[in-house]
Amino acid sequence: MSTVTTADHHDAHHDHKPTGIKRWLFTTNHKDIGSLYLLFALAMFFLGGAMAMVIRLELFQPGMQFVEPQFFNQMTTMHGLIMVFGAVMPAFTGLANWMIPMMIGAPDMALPRMNNWSFWILPFAFLILIISMFLPGGGPDFGWTFYAPLSTTYSNDSTALFVFAIHIMGISSIMGAINVIVTIVNMRAPGMTWMKLPLFVWTWLITAFLLIMVMPVLAGLVTMVLTDKYFATSFFDAAGGGDPVLFQHIFWFFGHPEVYIMILPAFGIISAIVPTFARKKLFGYASMVYATASIAILSFLVWAHHMFTTGMPVYATLFFMYTTMLIAVPTGVKVFNWVATMWRGAMTFEVPMMFALAFIVLFTIGGLSGVMLAIAPVDFQYHDTYFVVAHFHYVLVSGAVFSLVAAAYYWLPKWTGHMYDEKLGQLHFWCSVISVNLLFFPMHFVGLAGMPRRIPDYALQFADFNAFISVGGFLFGLSQLIFVWVLVKCIRGGEKAPAKPWEGAEGLEWEVPSPAPYHTFDTPPQVK
């Protein structure tokens, strides 16, 4: 804290690590904060996953066996919220913290104290959300999309806590995003020109821009929910001149860019891993950058594809259908570029590469089902069925989460200084990739056959598929325990990792020793 000692301290330039709990509570170090984000995200992934297990348990058989319908709805809601805001987004922010300064040759994030604030807000936000589940009326049970008036007039008291929890999560995301942008714009090492930025940095820059554009919209929306419920306003109430569909427009104006917030950094990770293990330069670097930017811009113009059944006029439906379909083009460019990168490379198949390859295949499947959903007249049949659930778990679990796991394996040597256990990692991969398909693929079928989402009990014709899906779910959950084992083993020891453990890797992060020193690039490297 004391400014004078700090100044000395920095001139002295030594790798001094604070110790004890204060290191983590008061830290301003991007690596510490990155680790905090990643560990928090992992914990939330398990919490959200445990809730998914409750869902799958209840859906294992027709009939109500384990929980009440209202509790089931709470599980669905909290599962969605925790996975999206607690697991995937913080995990990407953690990676950004760890990697971006090292990738661009900066000494730290641009605003280190604010960085710590962004992180520490998060556990408290989720604490509030979890406290809300213990209110007398139960927790939020209106779906992660909290459509009004279910979340206003007809909700229980948890709405108030939910609203404020979302507010502070939003503050955290916005501050995190500001930090990322400023770091990238202002702190690149000399010679690190825009078109030399690693793609992970590019995708995060654009993601951060999306965050700054849409998180405040979510904040505005929850504020209106709060006033509608508690202060007698009628933004979403026809009797006062409002419209429940207005809620959905605002929500999805946030919500659609939000799903790209969860996938663009994943694209960056895959674009780092594939060239490394194909030992060949990324194909089409420039078009990757332009494609990412196009996706981001288009993402502001497609939101109502979640609302085809709300009774919009037909010209609006057509507009949103066309724009949504267009997103397939830049995304396709990315997929093709990855394949072209592999083409005539010299590939090896370490765990990060395996997850990256699985990502490309499974994300594409999820993307293609997204294109099917975009076709408005057929979406009338798909909407709010398990077909949608299948779509978004393919892009989120075997997309975003797989990319995160790939990133973890890829950079673990840099973080811990040890190689992870390759055998265990391969086991983790194969268990995950098989079970994730057992889990989510049949959801396409039950969805098409007519099973609505968000129901705790279902008609008999869906029984076989659901039992199957649940078993897949349990297996996928158990497979993740292997991951934890790998992580623990790797943190505690293992084969020493060289500065650059991957033969084909490129980038500044591989030029510092493993584990990366507490302070890297106190003086800027010269990038040629």
Residues that bind Cu ion (CB under 5 A): 256
Comparing CB distances to other proteins, the nearer of 447 and 490 is 447
Catalytic residue chosen out of the listed positions 144, 147, 285, 485? 144
Q: Is 271 a catalytic residue?
A: yes
294 binds, among other proteins, Cu ion, ligand HEA, none (CB under 5 to 8 A by kind): none
Q: List C-alpha distances in Å: 15 to 10, 11, 21, 415, 417.
A: 10, 12, 18, 15, 15
397 binds, among other proteins, Cu ion, ligand HEA, none (CB under 5 to 8 A by kind): ligand HEA
Please give the Cα distance from 150 to 143 (Å, whole number): 9
- The residues facing 418 across adjacent strands are 496
- Cβ pair 160, 226 in contact under 8 A: yes
Comparing CB distances to ligand HEA, the nearer of 453 and 489 is 453
Comparing CB distances to other proteins, the nearer of 136 and 492 is 136
Comparing CB distances to Cu ion, the nearer of 327 and 407 is 327
Contacts of 445 (CB under 8 A, 6+ apart): 465
60 binds, among other proteins, Cu ion, ligand HEA, none (CB under 5 to 8 A by kind): none
Catalytic residue chosen out of the listed positions 334, 391, 393, 500? 334
Q: How far is the CB of 463 from other proteins (least distance, A)?
A: 9
Comparing CB distances to ligand HEA, the nearer of 35 and 479 is 479
Q: Is 331 a catalytic residue?
A: yes
Q: List C-alpha distances in Å: 528 to 187, 194, 294, 507.
A: 16, 13, 29, 12
Phi and psi angles of residue 155, each rounded to the nearest 5 degrees, phi first: -100, 170
Q: Is 16 a catalytic residue?
A: no
Q: Which stretch binds ligand HEA (CB under 6 A): 31-39, 122-130, 369-377, 488-496?
A: 369-377
Comparing CB distances to other proteins, the nearer of 261 and 486 is 261
Radius of gyration from C-alpha coordinates of the chain: 23
Q: Is 108 a catalytic residue?
A: yes
Sign, Cα dihedral of 443, 447, 450, 455: positive
Nearest-5° Cα angle at 51, 48 to 57: 145
Q: Is 383 a catalytic residue?
A: no
Please give the Cα distance from 342 to 274 (Å, whole number): 7
* The only residue of 44, 54, 84, 99 in contact with ligand HEA, by rule CB under 6 A: 84
- Cβ pair 240, 234 in contact under 8 A: yes
**What are the b/e assignments for 352-373, b being 16+ CB within 10 Å?**
bbbbbbbbbebbbbbbebbeeb
Q: Is 144 a catalytic residue?
A: yes
If one asks whether residue 263 binds ligand HEA (CB under 6 A), the answer comes out as: yes
Comparing CB distances to other proteins, the nearer of 259 and 490 is 259
Catalytic residue chosen out of the listed positions 76, 155, 331, 364? 331
* The only residue of 155, 173, 183, 480 in contact with ligand HEA, by rule CB under 6 A: 480
Please give the Cα distance from 103 to 63 (Å, whole number): 53
Comparing CB distances to ligand HEA, the nearer of 76 and 116 is 76
Total number of residues binding ligand HEA (CB under 6 A)?
Answer: 59
Alpha-carbon dihedral angle through residues 149, 150, 152, 158, given to the nearest 10 degrees: -170
Catalytic residue chosen out of the listed positions 258, 350, 421, 509? 258
Comparing CB distances to other proteins, the nearer of 21 and 492 is 21
Please give the Cα distance from 491 to 45 (Å, whole number): 19
Please give the Cα distance from 183 to 104 (Å, whole number): 9
- Cβ pair 159, 151 in contact under 8 A: yes
The closest of 359, 351, 357, 481 to 422, measured between CA atoms, is 351
- Cβ pair 61, 116 in contact under 8 A: no
Q: List C-alpha distances in Å: 356 to 210, 347, 402.
A: 24, 12, 7
The closest of 440, 38, 507, 495 to 285, measured between CA atoms, is 507
State the residue for tokens 């505005």. 220
Catalytic residue chosen out of the listed positions 35, 132, 207, 271? 271
Q: How far is the CB of 503 from ligand HEA (least distance, A)?
A: 29
If one asks whether residue 453 binds ligand HEA (CB under 6 A), the answer comes out as: yes
- Cβ pair 94, 34 in contact under 8 A: yes
Convert residues 398-427 into a mask of x (bound to ligand HEA by CB under 6 A) and - (unbound). -xxx--------------------------
* The only residue of 95, 96, 122, 262 in contact with ligand HEA, by rule CB under 6 A: 262
Q: Is 256 a catalytic residue?
A: yes
Catalytic residue chosen out of the listed positions 79, 393, 418, 444? 79
Nearest-5° Cα angle at 58, 123 to 124: 5
Q: Which stretch binds ligand HEA (CB under 6 A): 113-121, 162-170, 393-401, 498-506?
A: 393-401
Comparing CB distances to other proteins, the nearer of 249 and 489 is 249
Which one-letter DSSP state was computed for residue 397? I
Q: Is 306 a catalytic residue?
A: yes
Q: Is 428 a catalytic residue?
A: no
Residue 79: strand, helix, or coil: helix
Q: How far is the CB of 310 from ligand HEA (least distance, A)?
A: 11
If one asks whether residue 145 binds ligand HEA (CB under 6 A), the answer comes out as: yes
* The only residue of 149, 413, 473, 501 in contact with ligand HEA, by rule CB under 6 A: 473
If one asks whether residue 361 binds ligand HEA (CB under 6 A), the answer comes out as: no
**What are the b/e assignments for 250-268, b being 16+ CB within 10 Å?**
bbbbbbbbbbbbbbbbbbb
Q: Is 167 a catalytic residue?
A: no
* The only residue of 323, 341, 364, 435 in contact with ligand HEA, by rule CB under 6 A: 364
Question: Catalytic residue numbers?
Answer: 79, 108, 144, 172-173, 256, 258, 260, 271, 305-306, 331, 334, 453
Residues of this chain that interact with ligand HEA (CB under 6 A) are 46, 49-50, 52-53, 55-56, 76-77, 79-80, 83-84, 88, 143-145, 259, 262-263, 305-306, 324, 327-328, 331-332, 335, 364, 367-368, 370-371, 373-374, 379, 382-383, 388-389, 391-393, 395-397, 399-401, 439, 453-454, 473-474, 476-478, 480-481
